[in-house]
């Protein structure tokens, strides 16, 4: 592989030795015991680390909903209609006999 990339034999051997050293160091890193890395780092139970943010998010959405409903229901002045709810009936342009003029 070194000859394909145009590397000399000394630099190729040095590169392989460095790569092997890095692979060995990477292999010594302990595998996380759970998917919750915060739980591993802090020592807290995994269920607690996962449920607290979910409950905070849910509570935040609930509070936002209450605020929006309160804002929509709050009015500074009574709203009254300025005209009738049903418009006045206009005469038909065409007679009901189905004839078109």
pLDDT at 74 exceeding the cut of 90: no
Domain range for 9 = 1-30
Model pTM above 0.75: no
3-state secondary structure of 34: coil
Q: What angle do CA 97, 99, 101 make, to 5 degrees?
A: 135
pLDDT tens, residue by residue, 21-38: 999 999 998 877 777 888
The residues, ordered by sequence, that sit 6+ positions from 11 with a Cβ below 8 Å of its Cβ are: 2
User: What are the backbone angles phi and psi of residue 51, rounded to the nearest 5°?
Assistant: -85, -30
Q: How many domains does the chain have?
A: 2
* Residue 21 belongs to some domain of the structure: yes
Shared-domain flag, residues 20 and 41:
no
Shared-domain flag, residues 54 and 67:
yes
Which range in 39-43, 61-65, 74-78, 82-86 is most confidently predicted, on average pLDDT? 61-65
Shared-domain flag, residues 38 and 60:
yes
Shared-domain flag, residues 2 and 25:
yes
* Residue 91 belongs to some domain of the structure: no
**33: its two tokens:** 């015991």
């Amino acid at each position: 592989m070194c000859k394909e990339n145009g590397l000399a034999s000394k630099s190729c051997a040095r590169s392989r030795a460095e790569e092997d050293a890095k692979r060995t160091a990477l292999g010594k890193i302990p595998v996380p015991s759970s998917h919750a890395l915060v739980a591993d780092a802090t020592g807290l139970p995994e269920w607690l680390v996962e449920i607290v943010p979910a409950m905070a998010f849910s509570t935040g959405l609930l509070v936002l909903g209450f605020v929006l409903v309160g804002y929509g229901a709050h009015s500074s002045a009574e709203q009254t209609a300025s005209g009738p709810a049903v418009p006045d009936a206009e005469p038909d342009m065409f007679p009901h006999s189905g004839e078109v003029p």
